[in-house]
A = this chain, B = another copy of it.
């Protein structure tokens, strides 16, 4: 694989576009490799995107689109005239077609549907009728199916005759259907080698093959491929009619996408991925929608401090420790959130097992709270020479660590039970609870011990 290592490949791309040199552009992109193509294309302007996709033949334009992150691919398609967009969408694999079309405005989408061949539009609408993370939304409609009346020789002739067309299919299995289109059997590609050419499919097929239903969820599919070492599985509708097939790789890609979305949501990037090539106000707006909720929660938490202003004025050293108690409790709580999210993803814990998680986290909280409390209390003692200050600061951090890990461990389970997204909601709730509790514990303890704290 020759990968051209140029520092600014978008400048070459730009030159080829400007001179209208389709062959040169194609040759350059073919040698660039997918990651570099995505990087180069993301640097072009909206106009250049349009020119590039117009310049390339639709199959090659589709190859470029396939290599882009989804959010960028959607932007590119959106800016094209419907006729041209339809020609490119037509060349995408069917599950990617559905992903891209689902992200478009309803109006753009309908315009593209109208430009597509009626049968293809109908197939695509069928896939899009199902939610993205179900078998129906992930399945490909390119598969091989023959009636059980057929002979092996018929299948081989059909395969040979359609070699070109099937080259793009990921053909591992031949499905066998009855006269009503219901799935009745399967043959592996290699079975075609070992079997007499005169045999009828119904006599040599593996009958009643494993299958999934259009409305099975991604969770179910993950479990299915975990249990069965298959490269793909046929998809049937509620009447057992064969409607598509799902490859293992598609399920694994969906899983990876889910993991990446989770990472972004937990970092406060919502409403889809952000790329620095997006317009400034889109990027600012998306980030702000999250930050503005967070600032309100922060104001609520800080009101606890406002309530104890007199204590603070008397023992100003406490003001130094408040942000530390807030930050350390947040960190301890986030570790517990991460462990619960992983255990949920791996299926090691169920939503109802609150008591078990609580007991496990309290134990960690007591050990870590004691360690961190002694450390911070010691620092306070050394700094001001007042053992009561050490007691207040260290004791508050110890207590709040126990609270933070318990809340952090339980939150993802509770949120999942309430059908909320733990990745998105755990963080802000956790920090608000731990801040309020931490500020309250340290300042109320200080108020009680005030005579001992004032020098």
Binding site for B on A (CB under 8 A): 1, 3, 33-36, 38-39, 42, 67, 69, 156, 159-160, 168, 170-172, 189-190, 192-194, 210, 223-224, 226-227, 229, 231, 248-249, 252-253, 255-256, 259-260, 262-264, 266-269, 273-277, 280-281, 283-284, 287-288, 290-292, 294-295, 298-299, 301-303, 305-306, 309, 312-313, 316-317, 319-324, 326-328, 330-332, 334-335, 337-339, 341-343, 345-350, 356-357, 360, 363-364, 367-368, 371-372, 375-376, 379, 383, 431, 435, 439
Q: Is the interface of A mostly helix, strand, loop or mixed?
A: helix
**In the complex the two chains form, what is the Cα distance from A173 to B195 in whole Å?**
19
Question: Is the pair A299, B312 in contact by a Cβ cutoff of 8 Å?
Answer: no
**In the complex the two chains form, what is the Cα distance from A301 to B323 in whole Å?**
9
Question: Is the pair B33, A339 in contact by a Cβ cutoff of 8 Å?
Answer: no
Across the interface, A267 reaches (CB within 8 A) one of B156, B223, B338, B348, namely B338
Across the interface, A319 reaches (CB within 8 A) one of B210, B256, B319, B327, namely B319
Question: Is the pair A290, B335 in contact by a Cβ cutoff of 8 Å?
Answer: yes
Return chain B residues, CB-CB under 8 Å to A338. 263-264, 267-269
Return chain B residues, CB-CB under 8 Å to A259. 256, 259-260, 263
| This chain: copies in complex | 2
Question: Is the pair A371, B269 in contact by a Cβ cutoff of 8 Å?
Answer: no
Question: Is the pair B435, A323 in contact by a Cβ cutoff of 8 Å?
Answer: yes
Return chain B residues, CB-CB under 8 Å to A371. 284, 288, 292
Question: Is the pair A331, B34 in contact by a Cβ cutoff of 8 Å?
Answer: no
Return chain B residues, CB-CB under 8 Å to A34. 223, 226-227
Show 8 residue pairs from A and B whose CB-CB distance is below 8 angstroms, ordered by the A residue: A69-B348, A171-B190, A264-B338, A275-B348, A292-B375, A294-B331, A313-B313, A322-B322
Return chain B residues, CB-CB under 8 Å to A383. 306
Q: Top 8 A-B pairs ranked by shortest CB distance? A: A267-B338, A35-B347, A319-B319, A284-B367, A34-B226, A276-B360, A298-B324, A252-B252
**In the complex the two chains form, what is the Cα distance from A278 to B248 in whole Å?**
32
Question: Is the pair B335, A226 in contact by a Cβ cutoff of 8 Å?
Answer: no
Return chain B residues, CB-CB under 8 Å to A256. 252, 255-256, 259
Return chain B residues, CB-CB under 8 Å to A295. 324, 328, 372, 375-376
- Tell me the smallest distance from the CB of A213 to a CB of chain B, in Å: 11
Question: Is the pair A280, B363 in contact by a Cβ cutoff of 8 Å?
Answer: yes
Return chain B residues, CB-CB under 8 Å to A190. 159, 171, 189, 192
Question: Is the pair B1, A368 in contact by a Cβ cutoff of 8 Å?
Answer: no
